[in-house]
Amino acid sequence: MSTMANIAVHASGTATFIPLRQAGPKPVAKVQTRCTACNLRELCLPCGLSGSDAARAEDLVYTRKRIKRGDTLYRAGDGFNSLYAIRSGFFKTTLMLDDGREQVTAFHMGGEMLGMDGIGAGTHGTSAIALEDSEVCVMPYSRLLEMAQSIPTLQNQFHKVMSREISREHGVMMLLGSMRAEERLAAFLLNLSQRFGARAYSRNDFQLRMTREEIGSYLGLKLETVSRAFSKFQEEGVLDVQQKHVKILDADKLREAMGRRL
């Protein structure tokens, strides 16, 4: 580990920190892409900011961090210091059950925020693990609070992001509490479709980053049940599934499946 003024550049096995600013007598290479030029800006925390407020929001990002597939951004029980905006890649958040099993609590993609579970208790309640090589923007929470006091638009946007996270959790509760297996999978795929579409990717042709087992953990289903539901949709001409490659052939039928009982 080497340090230069207030910037620490790590080359550990789990992540690589990319400094954003010059520090000390020697120059440190700056990251070329800023918030104002990021193609995920409209989905991220700086969304809605303009003019001088947008320029000031650049200082929210302390550094960027690269996470290799399978590595952990933070673990349950770690102290909470920062929020993380996913610039590229895909993550799952998990918690460990009393019987030792891992429970997937969410899947996160580019433009979404990680780390908000630590705001209340001061420690993270879940672990965030990269499902593919990823990069996040690190935003110290203390800096966010300080800037939000002088930039009302930023404060409003942060509240919207938190509200979106609460709505997501309510949606998961509905999946687990009131839907059958086929309905849960249909809702999950339609949600992914909508999120990919919001990022200018195909809504009907995408690659799953997670395994069937991870999908089952998230939806509260056994692996065999998830596989049967995929097979049923394929037999009915709703999906074309080739391992992790999914094509939605009939979105209307997939939506209808959300109201159909097995």
- Are 199 and 110 in contact by the 8 Å Cβ rule? The answer is yes
Model confidence over 141-173: pLDDT tens digits? Answer: 998 888 888 888 888 878 888 887 777 777 777
Task: Specify which residues 95 forms β-bridges with.
Answer: 103
For residues 7 and 93, membership in a common domain is answered with yes
**Quick one: pLDDT at residue 6?**
38
Q: Is residue 14 part of a domain?
A: yes
Helix or strand (DSSP H, E) at 117? none
For residues 16 and 115, membership in a common domain is answered with yes
Number of domains in the chain: 2
* Cβ neighbours for 19, distance < 8 A, ≥ 6 positions apart: 4, 7, 9, 28, 29, 30, 63
State the CATH number of the domain containing residue 52: 2.60.120.10
**Quick one: pLDDT at residue 243?**
92
Distance, first Cα to last Cα, the chain: 55
Tokens encoding 59: 């200082």
For residues 93 and 197, membership in a common domain is answered with no
Question: Of 12-21, 68-77, 250-259, which gets the smallest average pLDDT?
Answer: 12-21
When pLDDT is cut at 50, 70 and 90, the band that residue 17 belongs to is very low
For residues 145 and 197, membership in a common domain is answered with no
Q: Return the higher-pLDDT residue of 48 and 2.
A: 48
For residues 34 and 88, membership in a common domain is answered with yes
State the CATH number of the domain containing residue 235: 1.10.10.10
Find the domain containing 201 and state its range: 179-257
For residues 145 and 220, membership in a common domain is answered with no
For residues 229 and 144, membership in a common domain is answered with no
Query: In whole angstroms, what is the distance from residue 184 CA to residue 179 CA?
Result: 6
Q: Is residue 106 part of a domain?
A: yes
For residues 106 and 213, membership in a common domain is answered with no
For residues 52 and 123, membership in a common domain is answered with yes
- Are 85 and 136 in contact by the 8 Å Cβ rule? The answer is yes
Expressed in percent and rounded to 5, the helix, strand and coil fractions of the chain are 40, 25, 35
When pLDDT is cut at 50, 70 and 90, the band that residue 36 belongs to is low
For residues 18 and 88, membership in a common domain is answered with yes
Q: Is residue 165 part of a domain?
A: no
When pLDDT is cut at 50, 70 and 90, the band that residue 45 belongs to is low
Q: Indicate the DSSP class of residue 29.
A: P
**Quick one: pLDDT at residue 16?**
47
Cα 201 → chain centroid: 16
For residues 226 and 121, membership in a common domain is answered with no
Size of the chain, expressed as the number of residues it contains: 262
Which pTM does this prediction carry?
0.79
Query: What mean pLDDT, rounded, does the chain reach?
Result: 81
Placement of tokens 């999978």 in the chain: 185
For residues 141 and 236, membership in a common domain is answered with no
Q: Is residue 158 part of a domain?
A: no
Q: Is residue 164 part of a domain?
A: no
User: Do strands 72-74 and 205-207 pair parallel, antiparallel, or not at all (unpaired)?
Assistant: unpaired
Q: Which of 151, 167, 192 is the last residue of a domain?
A: 151
**Quick one: pLDDT at residue 169?**
75
Question: Of 26-30, 106-110, 180-184, 206-210, which gets the smallest average pLDDT?
Answer: 26-30
Model confidence over 116-150: pLDDT tens digits? Answer: 999 989 999 999 999 999 999 898 999 888 888 88
Model confidence over 71-109: pLDDT tens digits? Answer: 999 999 999 999 999 999 999 999 998 888 899 999 999
Nearest to 136 by CA among 67, 198, 187, 74: 67
